Amino acid sequence: MFLFFTFSLASQDLSNFEEVMEFVSNKDNDFIKRYHTTGYLEFLPLDEQIEVQKVLLPEARVYPQKDVITKLYSGISILHVWSMQYEEAKIYLDSAMTYDGKIDNKAVLAVLHYNAGLYYLTVSDPSRAHNHYYRAVRYLEERGIPTPVMIILYADLARAYIERRDTANLDAIIDKMRVLAPAMGDDDSYLLLYGTVARRYQIVHDMDRSKVSYLDSMSVYIDKSIQRFKSIDTPYPGQNFQISYDYLFKAQIFLSEPMRPAIDSTLFYLDLAISLSQDSDNIFKSTEDLILGTYYRHKKDFVSSELALKKSLLCIENMKDTGYHSYYAAIYDAFSNLYADQGFYKKAFDAESKHHDNNKKLMDRHVYEVMMELQTQYEVEKKESEISRLTEINSFEAKIRKMYIGIIVLILVVLLFIVWYFRSRRKSDAARLQIINLKKDEAELLANLEAERAVNAELEKYEALMDVHFKDLQLEGKTREVEAFVKEKKDLDAQIASYSERLNKYEDALSSVRNKLDKQSVESIFLEVKALISKTTNSDLYIQKVNNVGENFLVFLESKSGGKMSALYLKYCIFFAIGMETKQIAEYLCVELKTIHMVRYRLKQKLGLGKDADLDFFLQECI
């Protein structure tokens, strides 16, 4: 068998099971490095390799890349196969197969199906083995990267076609192997190619014994394989196992009619095959006993021949599978010839009947498998077509959903813009209305002041006339009238005092600001502002705007705030009114930005503005 694992990292310097377990169990070591170490355990017995890989399973189950757990399950499964623990192998293989179709790593999927093929071939289910080999080959071909493993898979797939006598598919596989072997250029590739071609000529000859020329072709390719094997300095067990089959088939050739004079060469090649096979499988042992049985029949040693053929039949029966009809057919054909040579025609007839029954079953099975393969291909094409259609529908629906989402987003943006526009418009209108009301109140105050002044002037005029009249009455000596006029004068004086007090209130409302500003020096405020502005690059523009701000602006603000404006707040109002940016104001006054925001808040309170009012707009309207 060929181990189907390749790794990119170099092996750790580990020489025994204890060191390997210590390294793999230490979670301080990188998980991937510990995982890759499992590819270098050939020096350990199979049971110890299994134990090492099982240590990594808990971490692999939660590892994000599921190809890791897939490869571990698959690897443990094939190790159980080689340990002949088939039930455990099936459990881990089933666990690995749960990830089939859920990972995108085609190399790992090829490993999975290759190992599944080895399992089913070992448990005598060549049909399922063929299906898995076929899928493994397809995954590797989809990668588009030729590898030595591909020709191994081609050879395993070819064995399934040889068992089914499916020469059409077998020829297609051989054509692929002929292209791949020179590309790889390694000994394994050529040994597998030559052995597969030789087996192809063997089954064609078995199907029609009259075509003896196929035996010559088979012999040629076996000789090529043997010559390639002899050129290898140190063959490894897998190559020995491969060439042992070639020697076995070479021995079988010398039992054919045209080669009968060289029949004694059968034992020579059979001994070579046995010496290289080591732990051979049931198929090898059955073929070995079949060749011995035929050899003894030609030597007229019928007892040894029958014993060897029964052993060959027992090897196939021990495989507990009904799929090896070609082997049953060959064995019963040998029994028929043996009994016919001894004159046991009843036994010969029974054996020949079983020979034909197995040939018929082989043909029926081949027809059934062809039909199932066609059915599978049809189902696959049907599903692929359905998947393609559903993909197009999903793609269209996704585009429609995106379009609907885009329209909804656009509508929401438009609605938000409309709401923002009307709220801004409402705030602006409220600010303008507030300014208009303030100007209206100011005009009413001025009108009331003028009216009070006119009344005061009339009272002063009347008082002067009263004084003159009083003097005249005194001169005339009218005491009583003088007293009346004195009383009336007191009443008038009280009225004048009342009007004067009201007049003073109106004048105080307008002049208190001027009195206050005189104290703080209006000129000083403007000079300080201009001095600060002169430091900037746009000083001329800002100074011109400051010149447009008159004294009445400061008077109005002081009046509006009820006399609560300090010189510093008035400076801030000038800066805001001329449209200076917050960052520039902070730099000129050497304060933080949050201080500017706090001043804005306090100015709104002093001026009686709402939280949503635009302070800058209000101040600019007041200029």
Q: Which residue has the higher pLDDT, 347 or 364?
A: 347
Same domain, 427 and 459: yes
Same domain, 81 and 155: no
Q: What's the confidence (pLDDT) of residue 449? A: 78
- Asked whether residue 514 carries a pLDDT value surpassing 60, the answer given is no
Same domain, 431 and 539: no
Structure tokens at 35: 């995982």
507 touches 449 (CB < 8 A): yes
Same domain, 509 and 526: no
111 touches 100 (CB < 8 A): no
Q: What's the confidence (pLDDT) of residue 7? A: 35
Helix axes 237-253, 265-277, angle to 10 degrees: 160
Same domain, 24 and 98: yes
Cα(35)–Cα(52) distance, integer angstroms? 10
Average of pLDDT values for 482-503?
A: 61
pTM of the model as a whole: 0.49
**Alpha helices for 185-281 (secondary structure H):** 187-207, 213-230, 237-253, 265-277
Same domain, 505 and 588: no
- Across the chain, mean pLDDT equals 79
Q: Which residue has the higher pLDDT, 72 or 499?
A: 72
| Chain segment 27-70, per-residue pLDDT in tens | 888 888 888 888 777 778 888 888 888 888 998 888 888 888 99
- Asked whether residue 200 carries a pLDDT value surpassing 70, the answer given is yes
How many domains does the structure of the chain reveal?
4
Average of pLDDT values for 86-112?
A: 88
Residue 41, domain extent = 1-125
Of 498, 517, 536, the last residue of a domain is 517
Q: What are phi and psi of 53, to 5 degrees?
A: -70, -35
Q: What's the confidence (pLDDT) of residue 245? A: 84
Q: What are phi and psi of 156, to 5 degrees?
A: -65, -40
Please report whether residue 208 resides in a domain: yes
Stretch among 77-86, 91-100, 254-263, 290-299 having the lowest mean pLDDT: 254-263
Average of pLDDT values for 75-88?
A: 88
Q: Which residue has the higher pLDDT, 158 or 145?
A: 158
| Chain segment 113-125, per-residue pLDDT in tens | 888 888 887 776 7
| Chain segment 298-321, per-residue pLDDT in tens | 888 999 989 988 998 888 887 655
Same domain, 389 and 512: yes
Structure tokens at 493: 């004086």
Judging by beta carbons within 10 Å of its beta carbon (0-12, 13-18, 19+), is residue 164 exposed, middle or buried? buried
Q: What type of residue is 63?
A: Y
Split at pLDDT 50, 70, 90, the class of 2 is very low
Split at pLDDT 50, 70, 90, the class of 411 is very high
Please report whether residue 67 resides in a domain: yes
